[in-house]
């Protein structure tokens, strides 16, 4: 039976991937800071390793006999830890499998691209990062490409857009639902696009391509875009709310600036980018490989999400 190594196995993406792999008979080597998070399972072997400062000997042991390495772990909130946890750990893992017959599956981010430069983002679009998290993902990709050229590394890079799941608290969705509940209608350009992907669709896509030889040494953007206006209409239908207040987007941005003046928040620029994005993400490459089109049932997702948080 094939043995698979995985980082970030306790996360919302990793846990679903692990569940599916176990159900299909794979043996898992799990790298984790807290192995106690995992129930005892004869097909799971845990290794206590902190990616902030990984022990290379333990990493070497973790990698023994594996055929694939899923690197899903990332620091998402503490910027002071991002370079070490996200970039340095990726380098260590990549260096540890040099010239070995192990395929490296890396979870990157669609945020590495410059959405101001192109209205259609494909795998070769111009790249520019706006925060440290995106920078660590970009640098990690560069190092993977370098190792592929110099050390015959086999890889697959997946770049998801904003991930949505019923069991996953989303600040963006929560804010949009709050506006709807308050009867506030944000007035913005009808060209604004929301780049979303359902967690189940992301996991299904990753599991469908990771053993496909045509995916080797390729990058794949994964998204299911929708006009933000359509998404907000769906929230109104789900909540059965009418609009009482029309709020121009420039006033909304001024309110954000006022809040950030009193309470410094690195999220301000991200909010602006979300509500001013007019770029679509091309998924033609991955759809050609998996044989179907990625689509998102927003009404069904919102219904389930609202019922969960009640």
Which among 196, 193, 208 is positioned nearest to 273, based on CA atoms? Answer: 193
The segments of the chain whose pLDDT lies below 70 read: 256-267, 309-310
pTM of the model: 0.93
3-state secondary structure at position 265: coil
Residue 283 neighbours by CB under 8 Å, 6+ apart: 221, 222, 223, 224, 293, 294
pLDDT at 81: 96
The CA-based angle 60-151-31, given to 5 degrees, is: 25
Q: What's the alpha-carbon Rg for the chain, to the nearest Å?
A: 20
Burial of 280 (0-12, 13-18, 19+ CB in 10 A): middle
CA dist 94 and 110 (Å) reads: 21
CA dist 253 and 96 (Å) reads: 46
Residue 12 φ/ψ, nearest 5 degrees: -65, -35
CA dist 11 and 276 (Å) reads: 30
CA dist 199 and 194 (Å) reads: 15
pLDDT at 43: 94
H-helix or E-strand containing 268?
A: helix 267-274
3-state secondary structure at position 127: strand
pLDDT at 260: 53
Which among 176, 212, 206 is positioned nearest to 194, based on CA atoms? Answer: 176
Domains of the chain, CATH where assigned: 3-160 (3.40.50.720), 164-195+226-309 (no CATH)
């Amino acid at each position: 039976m094939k043995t698979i190594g995985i980082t970030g196995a306790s996360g919302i993406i990793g846990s679903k991937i692990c569940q599916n792999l176990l159900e299909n008979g794979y043996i898992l080597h799990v790298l984790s800071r807290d192995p106690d998070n995992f129930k005892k399972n004869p097909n799971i072997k845990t290794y206590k390793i902190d990616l902030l400062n990984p022990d290379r000997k333990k990493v070497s042991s973790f990698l023994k006999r594996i055929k694939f390495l899923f690197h899903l772990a990332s620091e998402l909130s503490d910027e002071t830890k991002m370079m070490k946890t996200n970039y340095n750990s990726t380098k260590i893992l990549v260096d540890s499998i040099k010239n070995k017959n192990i395929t490296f599956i890396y979870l990157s981010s669609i945020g590495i691209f410059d959405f101001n430069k192109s209205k259609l983002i494909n795998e070769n679009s111009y790249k520019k990062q706006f925060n440290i998290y995106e920078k660590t993902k970009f640098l990690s990709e560069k190092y993977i490409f370098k190792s592929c050229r110099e050390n015959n590394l086999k890889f697959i890079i997946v770049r998801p857009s904003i991930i949505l799941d019923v069991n996953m608290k989303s600040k963006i969705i929560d804010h949009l639902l709050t506006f709807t509940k308050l009867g506030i209608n944000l007035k913005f350009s009808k060209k604004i696009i929301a780049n979303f992907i359902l967690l189940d669709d992301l996991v299904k896509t990753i599991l469908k391509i990771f053993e496909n030889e045509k995916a080797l040494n390729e990058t794949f953007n994964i998204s299911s875009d929708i006009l933000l206006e359509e998404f907000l209409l769906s929230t109104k239908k789900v909540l059965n709310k009418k609009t009482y207040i029309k709020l121009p987007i420039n006033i909304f941005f001024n309110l954000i600036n006022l809040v950030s003046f009193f309470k410094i928040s690195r999220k301000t620029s991200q909010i602006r980018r979300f509500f001013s994005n007019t770029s679509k993400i091309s998924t033609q490459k991955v759809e050609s490989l998996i044989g179907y089109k990625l689509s998102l049932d927003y009404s069904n997702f919102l219904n389930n999400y609202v019922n969960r948080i009640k």
